[in-house]
Amino acid sequence: MSSADPTDAGPPAVTPRGDLSRGPSPKGPSFRINPKKSPERSAGGEPDQPDDAELRAERPQPKPEDKKTDRVAPKDDQPGDQGPKGIKGAFQKHPIAMIVCLGLIVLGLIVGIAWYLHARHYESTDDAFIDGRSVLVSPEVGGSITSVNVTDNQIVKKGDLLATIDTRNYKAALDQADGLIEQDEATTKNIDAQIASQKAQIEQAAQQVTEAQAALKFSTDENNRYQDLVQKGAGTVQRAQQASSDFTGKQAALDAASAAKLVAERQIDVLNAQKIGAAAQLDQAKAQKDRAAADLARTELRATVEGRVTKLTAAVGALAAPGQSIMIVVPTDIWVTANFKESQLALMRVGQPVDIEIDAFGKTFPGHVDSVQAGSGTAFSLLPAENATGNYVKVVQRVPVKITFDQRPDVELGPGMSVVPTVTVRP
């Protein structure tokens, strides 16, 4: 054999078993012995068989990326593994879950439709509260408070005594008015007596006038006779002159009596005027007495309505001024003021039944719609909206609706407590 024969190069290097995990050397390709291309035989005439260790050492090792590629098989190469897609496939895979889901959806639709059909018969709002006309107890007269007969949150009846103010000044004013009345009554009686006396004088003057008229008539006749006799020459001139003088005197006496009668009659008019003035003074004194009696009665502060006492500030010895609030009486006659949106009033009518739920007690009481205010709440506010100025933005308005209880609730309610009324607008 020639020296160039590759078989003379000696046996190939054998890789140890412990280095198999390292794989082929990156520096060069590995070689393996192909038994088909190596016909050399051993000394016994049998062909040489390579060792198992040598075959494993020379067998090419797969790279890590080749292992990953071989491990993952493409899904497209496995026809028939996938079933139908969509709802049908979901039913085939999870039939019970899909039936439950469909049942829940159908149940939700039924509940939603039933709720809508039920809710369309009612209108409700949470913008509602208990309302009432609270009475501010304030004295009409000033003075020191001598007694307070109630306490906080006490229930009072109409006419019950609440507090008392010092009465001494007002009793003195009443006594003074009584004195003026007596004085004016005495003056009136005196004038009546003067009028009666003056009427008597008038009668006397009338009698004097009558007497003067009779004397004048006799004197007139005498004067006429003597004047006639003088003209006939049967009488004396002296006697005729005496008759004429007597006639003149009697005429003057009649005039004087008539004037005295007229003066007496005019005095009656003066006395009547004085009587009118005395009567006016008497009426004024009586008015002062009524005023003093009223002021004396106002020193006792009494309840004008049935209710409960709140915000009590009165105390014995404190000075109460007219118009100063010393307590508030909340009446038992209360109602509900509900501010519904204007879009909720289309079917709302007076007299419709209402379920009134009170937040504080969690109870519901029956009532009915009493009235609907003629206008929204903003129309009667301190600063009403001026929609004709500036940029207009439409806002849903709320209209106050008065709701009254069918029966007085058996719980303690007060103005401002929150309620939720539900009006049945469709029977």
The amino acid present at 81, given as its one-letter code, is D
Q: What backbone torsions phi and psi does residue 358 show, to the nearest 5 degrees? A: -95, 120
Q: Is residue 243 within a helix (H) or strand (E), and if so which, with residue range?
A: helix 237-298
| pLDDT confidence bin for 125, thresholds 50/70/90 | very high
Residues 320, 351 contacting (CB under 8 angstroms): no
pLDDT at 102: 85
Express as a percent the part of the chain with pLDDT over 70.
Answer: 76
**The two structure tokens encoding residue 284:** 């004024």
Alpha carbon 67 to chain centroid, angstroms: 84
Instruction: Write down the pLDDT at residue 199.
Output: 81
Q: H-helix or E-strand containing 260?
A: helix 237-298
Label residue 47 left, alpha or beta by phi (over 0 means left) and psi (-120 to 50 means alpha): beta
Place of tokens 């009547």: 272
Residue type at 235? G
pLDDT on residue 301: 94
**Tokens 């001024």, located at residue:** 321
Check whether 150 has a pLDDT greater than 80: yes
Whether the Cβ atoms of residue 58 and residue 30 lie closer than 8 Å to each other: yes
Position 8 pLDDT exceeds 70: no
pLDDT score of 136 more than 80: yes
Please compute the mean of the pLDDT values over residues 26-39 and round it to a whole number: 44
Q: How confident is the model at residue 149 (pLDDT cuts 50, 70, 90)?
A: very high
Which whole number is the average pLDDT over 159-168?
A: 94
Neighbours of 336 (CB within 10 A): 25
pLDDT band of residue 226 (cuts 50, 70, 90) is low
The band of 47, judged by pLDDT with boundaries at 50, 70 and 90, is: very low
Local confidence band at 56 (pLDDT 50, 70, 90 cut-offs): low
Separation of alpha carbons 387 and 395, rounded Å: 11
Whether 196 contacts 176, CB under 8 Å? no
- Segment (H or E) for 204: helix 168-232
DSSP conformational letter for 131: E
Residues 110 and 120: their CA atoms lie apart, in Å, by 16
How far is 210 from 260, CA to CA, in rounded Å? 12
Q: Which of 403, 386, 287 is nearest to 336 (CA)?
A: 403
Least-confidence region, from 99-103, 117-121, 408-412: 117-121
3-state SS, 33-100, equals CCHHHCCCECCCCCECCCCHHHHHHHCCCCCHHHHHHHHCCCHHHCCCCCCCCHHHHHHHHCHHHHHH
